[in-house]
Structure 1
């Protein structure tokens, strides 16, 4: 089931990029990011309240709060840079470089989480890197 969700995530991310490219036309990229973030904020909290999971808010540990806040800050940075890049470049090139995050996430997971990667993951990371280079050079 995780694959279905991961695929849907990729599909929605692809739609996000195309829709965002049209949306940032003539709009400051920071303002566009703020508008997008507001929509996401309302949607996410709406889901939390509709499903009743807001009752679990007090159960979130200080460690989880810290890392979720840090994750939120890095997400915000990613979106700000992504929208600025979309304003300046083509969707195909910007998304290609953005998806290099897969390789960087694998590298960071090895360095900081001590995850073990298989040969298949290393080969896949190499292919992603080669693909990004082919699409941007």
Structure 2
């Protein structure tokens, strides 16, 4: 198995746990407070991770371009998390998590448009199946 695939599968596994654990953690508090507390923990964990695995010399390679685009990514992550937690507080985990994963379709489209990545028929079919799944789960009848 390719290394990136292993990492992606681990990400999928932990992301699945994240939604359920977060829903339990939101019991009795607002989604906004829950997100804030969670984000503080994430910051501590990521900074600890960076202190252990990122060599000091790597920090000198950061440039303005990196900071601008990573900052923009942080902004979109923040917005995604804000709305995810608002939805998670009042919706069921299965529906909220699946709709959130519709971001895959957005990522595929943006990768094609902005990064000029080639979208194969296989990827396009997979994206259409994701959209179909979203429609099935989002339908409330």
Moved segments of 4+, more than 4 Å? none
Unaligned runs of 5+ in 1: none
8 Å contact kept, 1:48–1:54: no
Which residue of the other structure, out of 79, 88, 91, is the alignment partner of 2:90? 88
Residue 60 of structure 2 aligns to a residue whose secondary structure is helix
The residue correspondences of 1:97-116 to structure 2 (distance < 5 A) are: 97-116=99-118
Shift of 1:52: 4.5
The number of residues matched between the two structures is: 137
Shift of 1:53: 2.5
**1:23–1:54 distance in 2 versus 1, CA, 3 Å:** farther
> What's the CA shift string for 1:65-124, capped at 9, x where partnerless?
100011011111111111100011000110111010000100111111111100000000
Q: Distance in 1 between matches of 2:24 and 2:77?
A: 21
8 Å contact kept, 1:96–1:132: yes
- Whether 1:13 aligns to 2:25 is no
Residue 84 of structure 2 aligns to a residue whose secondary structure is helix
Shift of 1:4: 1.0
Shift of 1:59: 1.6
Using the size of structure 1 for normalisation, the TM-score is 0.95
- Whether 1:43 aligns to 2:34 is no
Unaligned runs of 5+ in 2: none
